[in-house]
Amino acid sequence: MWLRSRRPRRINYAVNKIAAKSGSKVSNCVLSYKKLLTRVEFEWETKWLSNALDFAKTKLKKYWINPNKI
């Protein structure tokens, strides 16, 4: 009964909060997105890479970064 009163949580529920203890969160997000794009060029499109790109695009969207300009 207690579990139902809690708010629902998603995988990336706190990704839009830029905390002071991780000040390089936005730059790391951009770097990981670039690294994933180079891996897609090298390894082709795998299921793991497509899922990772979805997560990276979600983070970019929450940080208001346009992935087309990267």
Which of the two residues, 21 and 23, has the higher pLDDT score? Answer: 23
Number of other CB atoms surrounding residue 55 within 10 Å: 16
pLDDT band at 13 (very low <50, low <70, confident <90, very high): low
Q: Could you give the C-alpha distances from 38 to 3, 32, 43, 68, 70, in angstroms and in order?
A: 42, 10, 9, 15, 13
- Is residue 59 classed exposed, middle or buried when 0-12, 13-18 and 19+ CB atoms within 10 A define those classes? buried
| Residue 70 clears pLDDT 90, i.e. is over it | no
Geometric angle at alpha carbon 55, from 13 and 37, rounded to 5°: 155
Q: Percentage of the chain with pLDDT > 70?
A: 67
For 32-62, how does the pLDDT look when each residue is reduced to its tens digit (9 = 90+)?
999 999 999 999 999 999 999 999 999 999 8
Q: Where are the domains of the chain?
A: 3-69
